[in-house]
C-alpha cells in the first residue's frame, strides 16, 4: 500500500483547537480471509465550536459512515481523508464501517503465516500515521482518548491489547472467539495496539499486575529457555523505575509480544510492547546481544512514562520520547540488571551511529525547529542516530552537569504537570529548570537546537620544569568532561596505568600542569560523559596504536577505538594502520562489546568501502587472521561470546571456501561451537558468494530449516549466487513483483550486492536509482526505506555511482524517507571515495 496524504502541523493544530476526542470503540473481525479484515469504529467526541474537519481512514472499501445517526456519503472519502463538514458545537458520535487490507510490510495490521507450522499471526504497528490502515481515527498525538477493542478471531487464537483482554464468548455460526479489552486511560492514537494469533504465552504477576511474554508457537522452546531472564529483567527494571519516578506505572498490565517481521526494534504501546522476534534467540548469541535485549526492554518501559503518560504535542519533539528512553534504557539496565557495563556498548556502537548521522548533510538538531517538521512525512525522517544516540548523549551530559538528583526532580515535576496529556520541549525545559539554579534554558538552546559534533583536542607543552595541557574546542557547546592521564607500566610490554583523572569544564582558561615527563597517554572525555569527537596528540596517538589493549578500563578503550574510527572516516588515519591495530590488539581484548563493535566496523565499512578494491583481499585476510587468533585464544571455553563473535566475522570474511565447507560438513566449528541455524545460514551465505554452493544446497538447507529465518536465509543465498540468472531473478523479486514481505525484501537485498561480484552486477548500479524511486512510490515508506538502506550499491565507491545518485536526487517524485536514505548513502559513499583517494 503506497503513501498517504501527510497530516501537516498546521492542520493538526487547527483540528486540536476544534475537537476534544473522548472514546474509541474499535471492532475488528479477523475471520474474513487472508487479504482483508472488517473494521468498525465508533468515535465519541465533542466539537468546541462550529466548523469543518476530517477523520483519517485508508480502507480497501468503505462500507458506511454515519454522524449522530445520519448517514454520510462514503464516496466523499478523498485518498485517506473523510470530510466532516459543518460540525455543530457539542457532543457527536461517528460510526465508520470498512473493509481494510492486511499489511505485508509491517505497517498497520501486519499478517504473517509461519512457514514452520502454517499458523497465522497479526499485530498492529500504528506508529506515526498508520492507525488509519486499521480503523478510522483523528490521527494526531495531541488528540488523546480512551480505547477499547472488540476482536473476533479464529477459535484457537488469543487476542492481546493495551488493556487486559477477556474472551467473552463465541460467534455462534463458526465458533470464532470474541475478545474484549479493558478500556485504556487516555492515550494517543499511534499507541493503540492489538496482537492476535495462537500465541505461546508465559505469564506471571508482579507488584499486583499481570505480566506476560508472548511469541509464535514455533519459537516456544526458545522463549521458554529465556523466559526467566526476560521476566527478571522486566520486573527488575519496573522496580527500579518506581524508585526513580514518583508517578506509578499508569496502565493495567504489562505484556511483551515478540512479533514476526517487525520493522523497528520494538514499539512502546502502553501495556502491550511489541518487539521484533529475533529477540527470541533460536541460535547462540553473545552476552552483548543479551545485554542489548535487556536495554531494549528497559528502553520501552521508560516510554510508559515518557511518551505514553506524557506525550509529545507534535512530531518535532520526537527526541523527547526517544532520547529519554535511550538514556534511561542504558542507565536503568546498568543499575537494575546483571548487565552493569551498558555504557561501553553504547559508546562503541550506538554513539558511533550518532556521530555518523551528525556529520551528514541530512543532520538536524536533536530538537528541530517546529517549522522543520511541517508534516508527518518529514517527521519520519528524524528516527535516526541523532534522535536516539546523540540525544541520549546530550541527556547524559546534562545529568553530569546538573547532577542526577536535580535531573530526576525535574523529570518527576514534568510527569506531575503533564500526566495523561501532551508537552513540548519548552515544557520539559521548564520542568528541569524548576529544580535547579542552573540555566537549563541556555543549555538546551546550545545543545538541542544546534547541529554537528564538537571536536576536543589536547594541546600539550613540555618544558624543563614539566608539562602542561590545554584543551582546544572546535565547536560551540559547553562540556563537562574528565581528563585521564596514563603512564607505561614498568616492565610490561603494552600495559598502561592510570596516573590521574580530573574533572574539567570546556571551554576553560584552566591549564592542567604537572612536574616531570608528560604522560604517555592523555585522554579527553574519559568516562564518555559528553558528546564530542576526541582527538589525540601525536604521542598519545602513538601510545594508543601500540598499547590500546593495555588500557585498564573497557570504557576508556572504547573511547580510544572510537577516536581511531573517527580518524579513519575523516581521512586522518590510514585504513591499513587501523587494521594493523585491530590485528595487533583485538585478540587481547576481553570486552565483548568492543570486539563486536571493532570487528563490525573493520568488516563492514572499512573492508567494503574504505579500502581500495585492489587491497580488499588483503584486508579480509588480516580480519580473518585476527578472528583466528581470538578463536585460538578461546579454545578452552572461557569466553564463548568472544569465540562466537570471531567465528561469525571469520565466516563473513573468508576468501576461500575450504574451512567453511569443512565446518559445514562436520556440523561444527573445530573445537566448537556446533552449527546452529544462524551459523549454518551464515556459512551458506558466504559459500554462495564464493560460488561454492548452488541451488541444490540452498533448497536442501531450506528443507532442513523450513522456518521464517530459513526462508530469509535461502532468499539471501539465492540473491548472492555469482550467476547472471540468479541476479536477474533477485532483481525482479526486489523491484518488479511487489509481493515480498519487508523481511524477505531485506534478505534478498542483503544477498544481492557483493564486492566480490562487482563486474557481474555493474549494470544494476545505475538501474538501481530509477527502480528504487518507483518502488518507494508504489509500496510506501517501509519498503522505500528498506530499498535505500539494504538495496543500495554501497560497494560501488566510484564517480559513476556518485554521479548517478546525485542525478537521482534531482527527481522531485522520491518519497521523503527514501530521499533521506539516498542522501545519507551518497554522503557516506563520497566520504569513502575521499578516503580511498586522498
The model's pLDDT over 285-328, given as tens digits with 9 standing for 90+, comes to 999 999 999 999 999 999 999 999 999 999 999 998 999 999 99
Q: Are 178 and 196 in contact (CB under 8 A)?
A: no
Ordered alpha helix ranges (H), 503-587: 538-547, 554-569, 575-585
DSSP assignment string, 766-826:
HHHHHHHHHHHHHH-HHHHHHHHHHSS-TT--SHHHHHHHHHHTT-TTS-HHHHHHHHHHH
Give the mean pLDDT of 226-248.
Answer: 98
Residue listed under C-alpha cell 464516496: 75
Q: Which residue, 122, 129, 113, is CA-closest to 149?
A: 122
**Beta strands, E only, 12-171:** 19-29, 36-47, 51-56, 61-67, 70-72, 81-87, 90-101, 108-113, 120-125, 146-153, 158-161, 165-170
pLDDT band at 171 (very low <50, low <70, confident <90, very high): confident
**Per-residue pLDDT, 510:** 82
Do the strands 272-276 and 254-259 form a parallel or antiparallel pair, or are they unpaired? parallel
pLDDT band at 3 (very low <50, low <70, confident <90, very high): low
- Separation of first and last alpha carbons in the chain: 45
Cα dihedral 393, 394, 395, 398, rounded to 10, equals 120
Distance CA 22, CA 146 (A): 6
Q: What angle is formed at CA 594 by the lines to CA 590 and CA 597, rounded to 5 degrees? A: 145
Q: Which residues contact 551 (CB under 8 A, 6 or more apart)?
A: 486, 496, 521, 557, 560
Do the strands 165-170 and 254-259 form a parallel or antiparallel pair, or are they unpaired? unpaired
Give the mean pLDDT of 155-183.
Answer: 95
**Per-residue pLDDT, 1:** 47
**Per-residue pLDDT, 512:** 86
Which DSSP category does 60 fall into? S
Distance CA 370, CA 610 (A): 37
Distance CA 123, CA 562 (A): 39
Q: What 3-state class would DSSP assign to 660? A: helix
**Residues belonging to the active site:** 300
Does the pLDDT at position 792 exceed 80?
yes
- Exposure string of 570-604, with b = 16+ CB inside 10 Å and e = fewer, is eeebebeebbebbbbbbbebebbbbbbbbbbbbbe
Cell numbers representing residue 130 in the block: 498508520
Tell me the per-residue pLDDT of 652-687, one tens digit each, with 9 for 90 and over.
999 999 999 999 999 999 999 999 999 999 999 999
DSSP assignment string, 422-479:
EE-HHHHHHHHHTT-SS-HHHHHHHHHS--S--EEEEEEEEETTEEEEEEEEESS--E
Which DSSP category does 173 fall into? T
CA-to-CA separations, 604 to 598, 608, 760, in angstroms, rounded = 10, 6, 21
Neighbours of 613 (CB within 10 A): 13
Q: Which residues contact 510 (CB under 8 A, 6 or more apart)?
A: 504
**Per-residue pLDDT, 461:** 94
pLDDT band at 508 (very low <50, low <70, confident <90, very high): confident
- Exposure string of 317-342, with b = 16+ CB inside 10 Å and e = fewer, is bbbbbbbbbbbbbbbbbbebbebebb
Q: Where does residue 368 fall: left (phi above 0), alpha (psi -120 to 50 degrees), or beta otherwise? A: beta
Q: Which residues contact 620 (CB under 8 A, 6 or more apart)?
A: 607, 653, 654, 655
Peptide bond into 673 cis (omega under 30): yes
Backbone angles phi, psi at 380, to 5 degrees: -60, -25
- The proportion of the chain whose per-residue pLDDT surpasses 90, expressed as a percent, equals 94
Tell me the per-residue pLDDT of 574-604, one tens digit each, with 9 for 90 and over.
999 999 999 999 999 999 999 999 999 999 9
DSSP assignment string, 665-728:
HHTB-TTS-B--HHHHHHHHHHHHHTT---HHHHHHHHHH--SHHHHHHHHHHHHHSS-HHHHH
Distance CA 585, CA 575 (A): 15
Give the mean pLDDT of 342-350.
Answer: 96
Give the mean pLDDT of 33-50.
Answer: 97
Neighbours of 471 (CB within 10 A): 22
CA-to-CA separations, 517 to 205, 342, 466, 511, 691, in angstroms, rounded = 61, 35, 6, 16, 58
**Per-residue pLDDT, 796:** 97
Residue listed under C-alpha cell 509480544: 257
CA-to-CA separations, 345 to 256, 605, 639, in angstroms, rounded = 24, 18, 17
**Per-residue pLDDT, 491:** 85
Distance CA 144, CA 96 (A): 19
Q: Tell me the sheet residues that pair with 123.
A: 110, 195
**Per-residue pLDDT, 68:** 98
Give the mean pLDDT of 263-277.
Answer: 97
Residue listed under C-alpha cell 548469541: 285
Tell me the per-residue pLDDT of 493-504, one tens digit each, with 9 for 90 and over.
889 999 999 999
Do the strands 209-215 and 254-259 form a parallel or antiparallel pair, or are they unpaired? parallel
pTM exceeds 0.95, yes or no: yes
What average pLDDT is seen over the chain? Answer: 96
Give the mean pLDDT of 110-137.
Answer: 97
pLDDT band at 442 (very low <50, low <70, confident <90, very high): very high
Distance CA 64, CA 71 (A): 7
266 Cα distance to chain centroid: 8
Cell numbers representing residue 789 in the block: 538502506
Ordered alpha helix ranges (H), 265-363: 287-303, 318-336, 342-345, 351-358
Number of residues in the chain? 838
**Long-range Cβ contacts of 446-451 (<8 Å, 24+ apart):** 446/476, 446/477, 446/478, 447/366, 447/394, 447/397, 447/398, 447/477, 448/319, 448/365, 448/366, 448/367, 448/391, 448/394, 449/365, 449/367, 449/369, 450/365, 450/476, 450/477, 451/358, 451/363, 451/364, 451/365
Distance CA 408, CA 475 (A): 29
Tell me the per-residue pLDDT of 607-625, one tens digit each, with 9 for 90 and over.
999 999 999 999 999 999 9
Backbone angles phi, psi at 535, to 5 degrees: -105, 160
Distance CA 198, CA 214 (A): 10
Q: Which residues contact 562 (CB under 8 A, 6 or more apart)?
A: 347, 348, 351, 352, 355, 534
Amino acid at each position: 500500500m503506497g503513501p498517504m496524504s501527510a497530516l501537516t502541523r498546521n492542520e493538526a493544530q487547527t483540528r486540536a483547537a476544534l475537537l476534544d476526542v473522548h472514546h474509541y470503540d474499535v471492532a475488528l473481525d479477523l475471520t474474513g480471509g487472508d487479504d482483508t479484515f472488517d473494521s468498525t469504529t465508533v468515535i465519541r467526541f465533542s466539537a468546541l465550536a462550529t466548523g469543518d474537519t476530517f477523520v483519517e481512514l485508508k480502507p480497501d472499501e468503505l462500507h458506511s459512515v454515519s454522524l449522530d445517526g445520519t448517514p454520510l456519503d462514503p464516496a466523499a472519502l478523498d485518498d485517506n481523508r473523510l470530510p466532516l463538514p459543518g460540525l455543530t458545537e457539542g457532543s457527536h458520535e461517528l460510526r465508520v464501517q470498512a473493509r481494510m487490507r492486511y499489511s505485508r510490510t509491517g505497517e498497520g495490521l501486519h499478517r504473517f503465516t509461519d512457514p514452520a507450522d502454517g499458523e497465522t499471526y497479526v499485530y498492529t504497528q500504528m506508529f506515526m500515521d498508520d492507525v488509519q490502515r486499521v480503523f478510522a481515527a483523528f490521527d494526531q498525538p495531541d488528540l488523546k482518548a480512551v480505547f477499547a477493542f472488540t476482536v473476533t478471531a479464529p477459535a484457537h487464537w488469543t487476542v492481546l491489547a493495551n488493556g487486559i483482554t477477556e474472551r467473552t464468548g463465541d460467534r455462534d455460526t463458526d465458533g470464532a472467539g470474541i475478545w474484549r479489552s479493558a478500556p485504556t486511560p487516555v492515550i494517543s492514537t499511534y499507541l493503540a495496539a492489538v496482537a492476535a494469533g495462537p500465541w505461546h504465552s508465559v505469564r506471571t504477576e508482579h507488584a499486583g499486575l499481570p505480566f506476560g511474554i508472548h511469541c509464535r508457537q514455533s519459537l516456544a522452546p526458545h522463549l521458554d529457555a529465556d523466559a526467566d531472564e526476560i521476566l527478571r529483567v522486566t520486573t527488575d527494571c519496573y522496580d527500579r523505575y518506581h524508585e526513580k519516578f514518583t508517578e506509578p506505572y499508569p496502565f493495567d498490565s504489562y505484556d511483551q509480544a515478540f512479533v514476526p517481521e517487525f520493522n523497528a526494534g520494538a514499539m512502546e504501546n502502553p501495556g502491550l510492547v511489541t518487539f521484533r522476534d529475533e529477540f527470541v534467540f533460536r541460535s547462540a548469541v553473545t552476552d552483548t546481544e543479551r545485554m542489548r535485549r535487556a536495554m531494549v526492554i528497559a528502553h520501552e518501559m521508560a516510554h510508559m512514562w515518557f511518551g505514553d503518560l506524557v506525550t509529545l504535542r507534535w512530531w518535532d519533539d520526537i527526541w523527547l520520547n526517544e532520547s529519554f528512553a535511550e538514556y534511561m534504557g542504558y542507565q536503568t539496565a546498568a543499575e537494575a540488571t546483571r548487565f552493569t557495563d551498558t555504557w561501553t556498548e553504547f559508546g562503541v556502537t550506538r554513539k558511533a551511529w550518532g556521530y555518523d548521522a551528525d556529520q551528514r548533510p541530512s543532520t538536524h538538531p536533536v530538537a528541530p525547529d517546529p517549522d522543520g517538521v511541517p508534516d508527518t512525512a518529514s517527521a519520519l525522517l528524524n528516527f535516526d542516530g541523532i534522535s536516539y544516540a546523540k540525544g541520549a548523549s546530550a541527556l547524559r551530559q546534562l545529568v553530569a552537569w546538573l547532577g542526577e538528583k536535580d535531573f530526576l526532580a525535574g523529570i518527576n515535576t514534568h510527569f506531575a504537570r503533564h500526566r495523561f496529556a501532551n508537552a513540548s520541549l519548552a515544557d520539559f525545559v521548564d520542568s528541569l529548570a524548576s529544580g535547579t539554579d542552573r540555566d537549563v534554558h541556555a543549555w538546551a538552546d546550545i545543545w538541542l537546537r544546534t547541529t554537528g559534533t564538537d571536536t576536543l583536542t589536547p594541546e600539550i607543552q613540555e618544558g624543563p620544569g614539566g608539562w602542561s595541557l590545554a584543551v582546544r574546542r572546535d565547536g560551540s557547546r559547553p562540556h563537562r568532561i574528565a581528563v585521564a592521564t596514563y603512564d607505561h607500566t614498568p616492565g610490561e610490554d603494552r600495559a598502561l596505568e592510570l596516573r590521574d583523572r580530573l574533572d574539567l569544564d570546556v571551554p576553560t582558561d584552566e591549564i592542567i600542569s604537572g612536574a616531570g615527563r608528560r604522560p604517555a597517554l592523555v585522554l579527553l572525555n574519559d568516562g564518555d560523559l559528553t558528546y564530542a569527537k576526541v582527538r589525540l596528540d601525536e604521542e598519545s596517538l602513538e601510545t594508543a596504536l601500540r598499547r590500546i589493549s593495555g588500557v585498564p578500563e573497557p570504557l576508556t578503550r572504547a573511547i580510544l577505538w572510537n577516536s581511531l574510527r573517527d580518524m579513519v572516516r575523516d581521512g586522518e588515519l590510514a585504513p591499513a594502520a587501523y587494521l594493523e591495530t585491530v590485528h595487533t590488539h583485538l585478540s587481547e581484548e576481553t570486552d565483548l562489546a568492543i570486539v563486536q563493535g571493532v570487528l563490525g566496523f573493520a568488516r563492514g565499512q572499512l573492508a567494503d568501502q574504505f579500502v581500495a578494491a585492489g587491497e580488499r583481499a588483503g584486508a579480509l585476510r588480516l580480519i580473518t587472521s585476527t578472528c583466528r587468533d581470538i578463536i585460538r585464544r578461546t579454545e578452552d571455553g572461557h569466553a564463548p561470546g568472544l569465540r562466537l563473535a570471531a567465528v561469525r566475522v571469520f565466516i563473513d570474511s573468508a576468501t576461500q571456501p575450504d574451512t567453511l565447507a569443512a565446518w559445514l560438513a562436520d556440523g561444527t566449528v573445530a573445537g566448537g561451537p556446533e552449527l546452529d541455524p544462524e551459523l549454518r545460514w551464515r556459512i551458506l551465505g558466504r559459500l554462495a558468494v564464493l560460488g561454492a554452493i548452488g541451488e541444490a544446497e540452498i533448497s536442501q538447507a531450506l528443507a532442513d530449516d523450513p522456518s521464517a529465518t530459513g526462508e530469509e536465509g535461502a532468499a539471501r543465498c539465492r540473491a548472492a549466487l555469482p550467476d547472471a540468472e540468479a541476479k536477474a531473478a533477485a532483481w525482479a523479486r526486489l523491484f518488479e513483483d511487489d509481493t515480498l514481505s519487508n523481511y524477505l525484501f531485506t534478505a534478498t537485498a542483503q544477498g544481492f550486492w557483493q564486492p566480490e561480484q562487482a563486474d557481474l552486477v555493474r549494470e544494476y548500479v545505475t538501474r538501481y536509482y530509477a527502480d528504487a524511486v518507483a518502488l518507494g512510490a508504489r509500496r510506501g515508506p517501509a519498503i522505500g526505506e528498506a530499498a535505500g538502506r539494504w538495496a543500495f550499491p554501497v560497494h560501488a565507491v566510484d564517480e559513476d555511482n556518485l554521479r548517478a545518485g546525485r542525478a537521482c536526487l534531482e527527481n522531485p517524485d522520491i518519497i521523503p524517507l527514501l530521499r533521506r536514505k539516498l542522501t545519507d548513502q551518497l554522503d557516506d559513499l563520497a566520504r569513502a571515495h575521499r578516503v580511498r583517494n586522498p
